[in-house]
């Protein structure tokens, strides 16, 4: 049974569910049956036998889900929208999944590809950023990953990690991702809360949102991960009792002030992220540009990060290096550097360079490494930590890590870096600017010509 025939079976079952489940609800239900079939194959066999007794079929299947929720509470056994599905439909799904000549991992892989291609609701910028992050982290074989930005949950070709912890804020995507990973026999922990709040819990205590003591334990451990991908969430300031627990549990890079500003949660999250890394680990943290240049406690934390030589690079995530908006990637490395220098990159070239060094399967969106030498990047500067710390503006904002503060604009870079750039790229950029100017002129003529 190959991918095409597995997809044909998925589409055939979807037709049988028409009128009972919407297309995306069907895929969520199918992912549940695939996961149940992996953990408890007898449940599917017995459910399939009850096709002529709808009421008993429903009662049996949902009672089995309840049993699984009690025995494996950290797994995604929520009924969701299938709670009202008639017994014969449940029995049909159970029969096809358990009796198919396709293996469950094959069906799960085909389901994943179909979902990514047709129903994964992510904006193009987010999808591009996820591809970029995959290109940055490369092959994860034997490594441990904490991804609190997620987006990687449905793209596992590069994954053979020793430990995989994912935090997907979209509950539907989280359930589908988790179930398909179970069906593909990939061991994964899905978080249901951010790990800074997990660190605020007293030992041995859990909350309603934290349904697994295992995930809390994993996220509180120091030095656990080779790679962390994080995007600090926007949320209210931590309460005083939470801060006291944090301060008692571990020292921050900088001492906590008596009164934290409302923006301090990002700095706390970054310090907790740093704790999750092992001695040779790397963190890719997506931060607002404001955090990179703000004064106060944020500047104090940035200064500590720089002094410890943890800051490896800053990658600006926008097309124009002069832009003052959007986000950047803060890259932290625990491993000691030979010299305390920080690299600043503009995303317009950094992202394209990274994506040029992977092969993308257009049909499935899978990424594979393309081992080629990386070209020199003209939109990249390296600044010593000493220079960064001595650069302080009139607003007393020290340790400015905003890439735009150090990078020239694309136009300026083209002027002084022509000898480093490919002539074809320069001509292509000039042609693009000319085309935009022609379009603007044409628009004006059409608007004002009588």
Question: Taking the CB of residue 411, how many other CB atoms lie within 10 A of it?
Answer: 12
Pairing status of strand 341-346 against strand 311-317: parallel
117 to 12, 62, 80, 201, 295: CA distances (angstroms): 18, 30, 22, 39, 44
Pairing status of strand 189-190 against strand 225-230: unpaired
Q: How far apart are the first and last CA of the chain?
A: 66
pLDDT of the residue at 73: 81
Specify whether the CB–CB gap between 164 and 88 falls below 8 A. no
Distance (Å, rounded) from C-alpha 180 to C-alpha 365? 17
Specify whether the CB–CB gap between 250 and 203 falls below 8 A. no
Tokens encoding 207: 């909350």
Nearest one of 312, 258, 326 to 136, comparing CA atoms? 312
Specify whether the CB–CB gap between 286 and 149 falls below 8 A. yes
Residue in this structure with the two tokens 């299947």, named with its chain if needed: 61
- Digit-by-digit pLDDT tens for the chain (450 residues) are 456 788 888 988 888 888 888 888 898 899 999 999 999 999 999 999 999 999 999 999 999 999 999 998 888 998 877 888 888 899 999 999 988 877 898 899 888 888 877 777 666 667 677 777 877 887 777 888 888 776 555 554 555 677 778 877 777 888 888 899 899 888 888 776 566 776 676 655 544 444 444 445 555 556 788 999 888 876 667 777 777 777 777 777 887 777 777 778 888 889 888 888 999 999 999 998 889 988 888 888 999 999 999 999 999 886 544 444 578 999 999 987 888 999 888 876 666 666 665 555 555 555 555 444 444 555 788 888 888 888 765 444 578 898 878 876 544 433 333 333 355 555 655 665 566 566 666 665 665 555
Tokens encoding 101: 């000549």
Distance (Å, rounded) from C-alpha 247 to C-alpha 239? 12
Question: Taking the CB of residue 339, how many other CB atoms lie within 10 A of it?
Answer: 8
Tokens encoding 246: 């944090």
b/e per residue, 195-209, with b = 16+ CB within 10 A?
bbbbbbbeeeeeeee
b/e per residue, 249-284, with b = 16+ CB within 10 A?
beebbeebeeebeebbbbbbbbbbbbbbbbeebbbb
Residue 326 phi, psi (nearest 5): 70, -160
Distance of CA 436 to the CA centre of its chain: 34
What H or E segment, with its residue span, contains residue 226? Answer: strand 225-230
Nearest one of 91, 76, 80, 86 to 19, comparing CA atoms? 86
Question: Taking the CB of residue 152, how many other CB atoms lie within 10 A of it?
Answer: 22
Specify the 3-state DSSP secondary structure of 277.
strand
Helices (H), 85-138: 87-99, 104-118, 124-137
pLDDT of the residue at 380: 80
Distance (Å, rounded) from C-alpha 236 to C-alpha 264? 10
DSSP 80: G
Q: Read off the pTM.
A: 0.75
Residue 339 phi, psi (nearest 5): -135, 145
Question: Taking the CB of residue 374, how many other CB atoms lie within 10 A of it?
Answer: 9
pLDDT of the residue at 421: 39
54-71 helix and 41-49 helix, angle to the nearest 10 degrees: 170
Angle at 371 between CA 367 and CA 372, to 5 degrees: 120
Specify the 3-state DSSP secondary structure of 195.
helix
Q: Classify burial at 234, counting beta carbons within 10 Å of its beta carbon; exposed 0-12, middle 13-18, buried 19 or more.
A: exposed
Specify whether the CB–CB gap between 31 and 179 falls below 8 A. yes
pLDDT of the residue at 210: 42
């Amino acid at each position: 049974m190959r991918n095409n025939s597995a997809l044909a079976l998925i589409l055939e079952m979807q037709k049988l569910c028409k009128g009972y489940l919407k297309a995306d609800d069907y895929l969520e239900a199918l992912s549940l049956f695939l996961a149940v079939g992996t953990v408890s194959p007898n449940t599917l066999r017995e459910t399939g036998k009850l096709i002529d007794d709808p009421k008993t079929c429903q009662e049996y299947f949902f009672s089995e889900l309840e049993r699984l929720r009690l025995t494996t509470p950290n797994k995604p056994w929520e009924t969701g929208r299938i709670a009202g599905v008639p017994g014969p439909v449940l029995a049909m799904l159970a029969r096809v999944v358990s009796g198919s000549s396709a293996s469950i991992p094959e069906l799960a892989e085909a389901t994943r590809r179909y979902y990514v291609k047709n129903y994964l609701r992510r904006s193009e910028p987010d999808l591009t950023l996820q591809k970029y992050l995959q290109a940055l982290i490369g092959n994860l074989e034997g490594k441990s990953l904490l991804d609190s930005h997620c987006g990687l949950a449905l793209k596992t070709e590069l994954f053979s990690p020793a430990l995989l912890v994912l935090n997907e804020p979209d509950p539907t995507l989280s359930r589908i991702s988790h179930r398909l990973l179970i069906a593909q026999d990939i061991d994964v922990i899905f978080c249901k809360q951010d790990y800074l709040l997990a660190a605020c819990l007293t030992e041995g205590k859990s909350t309603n949102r934290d349904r697994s003591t295992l995930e809390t334990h994993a996220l509180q451990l120091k030095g656990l991960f080779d790679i962390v991908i994080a995007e600090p969430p926007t949320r209210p300031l931590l309460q005083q009792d939470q801060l006291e627990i944090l301060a008692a549990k571990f020292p921050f890079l900088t001492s906590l002030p008596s009164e934290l500003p409302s923006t301090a949660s990002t700095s706390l999250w970054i310090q907790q992220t740093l704790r999750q890394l092992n001695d040779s680990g790397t963190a890719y943290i997506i931060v607002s540009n404001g955090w990179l240049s703000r004064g106060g406690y944020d500047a104090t934390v940035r200064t500590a990060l720089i002094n410890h030589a943890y800051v490896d690079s800053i990658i600006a995530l926008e097309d124009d290096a002069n832009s003052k908006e959007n986000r950047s990637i803060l890259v932290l490395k625990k491993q000691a550097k030979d010299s305390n220098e920080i690299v600043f990159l503009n995303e317009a070239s950094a992202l394209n360079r990274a994506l040029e060094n992977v092969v993308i399967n257009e049909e499935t969106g899978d990424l594979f490494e393309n081992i080629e030498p990386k070209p020199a990047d003209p939109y990249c500067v390296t600044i010593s930590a000493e220079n960064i710390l001595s650069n302080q503006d009139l607003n007393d904002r020290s340790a400015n890590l905003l890439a735009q503060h150090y990078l020239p604009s694309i136009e300026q870079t083209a002027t002084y870096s022509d000898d480093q750039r490919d002539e074809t790229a320069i001509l292509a950029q000039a042609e693009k600017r000319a085309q935009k100017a022609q379009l603007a002129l044409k628009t004006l003529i059409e608007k004002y010509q009588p």
